[in-house]
Chains A and B, each alone.
Chain A
Amino acid sequence: MTTLTDPPKEQFRLSMLLYDTRYRSATIQVIAMICFMLMAAWLISNTAQNLAALGKPIDFGFFSEPASYDINQRLLDYSSRDTHLRAAFIGLLNTLVVAVLGCITATILGVIIGVLRLSNNWIVARLMTFYVEGFRNVPVLLWIVFIMAILIETLPAPRAFRGDNATASMMLGDSVAVTNRGVYVPEALFSNSLGNIHLFGESSLRFDISLDLMLILIVLGGGLWVANLLRKRADRIQEQTGDRPVTWWQRLAVVVIPTGLVLVLLGFHFGYPELKGFNFQGGTHLRNSLIALWLALSLYTAAFIAEIVRAGILAISKGQTEAASALGLRSNKIMSLVILPQALRVIIPPLISNYLNLTKNSSLAIAVGYMDITGTLGGITMNQTGRELETILLLMLVYLTISLSISAVMNWYNESVKLKER
């Protein structure tokens, strides 16, 4: 006779938390977590206590005080009577400008250099190796300062353009002035301007959007869309009949004619820089600080991107190239149609971190006096108000937000170029 008994009901004992492998890891994690939280709580309370002892409790009220300082490069209207918040906002826009310009330039340069480094031409390949090693092995701060010093020391001062025996002259038919205070280029002006849309009223975040620019962009976008439709139609006809209708002039016309018409209607003309008083007046002033920062960040990051591109291309098996050339494609077609689209999948993830690096490196701007958000909020505002903790925390939050936004956009792009497995 066999009796079936239930297995003895296991009783939970406290010691099992330590000796039973099923629970042990959880126990350790919980203890570690508690220690970490205690530590964090202690740090926070200690900071708060010390600030209170100093008589400086956390307070963001300074944001509504007038900033009282001027900012040279401002994309929106700003005067020294505006608030610290406005100054921070102007700084944020300056950060974004240099980050966006830098990312675009770095990508273009990086792709070209990365591809050229794989060139069969010995000199070209060596030159590119030299470039990559030179730029990525020297700290970017040095490049920024170095480029700034070159701009200041070698280019002529505006006063060299003056007088009968001027030692410097403007370029491109007197439209561009290259000086050691920056480059003055013609600006676009509209005599029948539609004006601006004012957003956010009179608050510190007020923002003007040029209706002229919006209109031009809409018309241009519409033209490109129609041109795309024309191309698709041509593709369809080619597939059906084997003959491709000649559409290049139609596609060009739908883009150029409406845009040109809008420009004429708006009374588009250039405003040329002119030497008046101490400086060139009129035109758009690209300051030295912007140029130095932009160039240095782009050249530096391009070296990294070049390596990423090279790695991406090398990751595609040689069979692809051989198969493509067997089909009769020329080598530049092989690169643009076969290799690069596949390589993109390898390239994009590390590219994201380089964009993030470039954006964060732009906080070195103060070395050349470029008024980015580190220079305004984390520099002058912090110094004038003495709110170190508040401004630095906020600054970290701003950079975090920018970085996460870039990551989100790039990840979305990465999804779209990923190998679609069906």
Chain B
Amino acid sequence: MKKSVFLGALTVAGMAAGVAAAGTMDDVKARGKLNCGVTTGLVGFAAPDSNGEWKGFDVALCRAVAAAVLGDGNAVEFVPTTGKTRFTALASGEVDMLARNTTWTFSRDVDLKFEFVGVNYYDGQGFMVPKSLGVSSAKELDGATVCIQTGTTTELNLADFFRANNISYEPVPIETNAEAQQQYLAGACDVYTTDASGLAATRATFENPGDHVLLPEIISKEPLGPLVRHGDHEWGDVVRWTLNALISAEEMGITSANIDEMSAGTNNPEINRILGTEGTLGEMLGLDAEWAKRAIKVGGNYGEVFAQNIGESTPIGLARGLNAQWTDGGLLYSPPFR
């Protein structure tokens, strides 16, 4: 009895002790590997391909950070997390950062003690139904059975949406996207709801994607972004500016194809500052001068990453929409590198 109490207490202390460790950057450098929390598998955002190699939009960000800090985009240990386990994994220090289509909300930022470093995908919650159901609006879903990933903001939006429209529904809580897909395809739920990008990605893996439609309603704002533990600002800065570097690179026209040419020096000082041929931005971050160059080189700029993983030429086929550069009428707007 005494022993088990003792071991239990040790576990608690172990968790607590893990939390205390600040200086994530030093930890990552000492480890030589970045522990990056991703989803358990959402094609296009983060999923292992047929060779077991993680691929996707969120994965690309992990690789960019690893390249910036460690100089190697493959020095990443991907830790699959569910909607329920992700925050504990980050808070306990099991992962150094989360890049797992996680919505930036007030309470997560302030109360849960995390720090969202930016937005890498502007999303909103949507509904997917089989075409044969003949539903054309989410407001017609009175009495429907809805599959929902538990522990997400979508769960709360769903409750609010149905409540506000005074219609009823039956929630079926699901742990992972794969389980939701199974239940949805078997008809155990009429509707699957999650972020619209996630729905598109899930639908792309169906045998007959054409048999399913996304309803026009987008019922929430879901700014998805990478996050780190609150309080470790040095590390937060590294992740934030790696993301900004990818976004700025697209704006400035730096691509994985022309980056070597450009790093020889251009007549645009901002490009020079990003690529480290001018100024000491890398040093200020605690990295070397070429950090951003490596980050961009590993998967290309934001636009390239988007096009490769979830863009219109991929089976997922998401348009840039809100995620276009501000110069193209989107919301992507990186602070200047100065």
Contacts and interface: CB of A to CB of B under 8 A. Distances in A.
A383 B87 contact: yes
Interface stretch (B71-79, B140-148, B302-310): B140-148
Given A181-B145, A277-B142, A379-B150, A72 B111 contact: no
A369 B172 contact: yes
Contacts of B159: 68-70, 80
B2 to A, nearest CB: 7
Contacts of A281: 143
B170 A375 contact: no
Contacts of A79: 163
B156 A384 contact: yes
Given A50-B19, A70-B159, A279-B170, A55 B230 contact: yes
Contacts of B163: 79-81
B175 A181 contact: no
Given A385-B111, A386-B112, A72 B13 contact: no
Contacts of B10: 43
Contacts of A383: 83-84, 87, 150-151
Given A279-B144, A375-B150, A152 B183 contact: yes
Give the interface size class of chain A: 35 or more
A386 B87 contact: yes
Contacts, number: 137
B173 interface: yes
Contacts of B107: 384-386
B156 A69 contact: yes
A153 to B, nearest CB: 6
B319 interface: no
A29 to B, nearest CB: 12
B93 to A, nearest CB: 11
Contact of A380 (B6, B132, B150, B162): B150
Interface of A: 36, 39-40, 42-44, 46-47, 49-51, 53-56, 68-72, 79-81, 149, 152-153, 157-160, 180-181, 276-279, 281, 288-289, 366-367, 369, 371, 375, 379-380, 383-386, 388-389
26 contacts: A40-B9, A46-B17, A47-B12, A50-B19, A50-B20, A55-B113, A68-B159, A69-B155, A72-B172, A80-B159, A81-B163, A152-B183, A157-B186, A157-B188, A159-B133, A181-B145, A278-B190, A279-B143, A279-B144, A279-B145, A366-B84, A379-B150, A380-B151, A380-B155, A384-B107, A386-B113
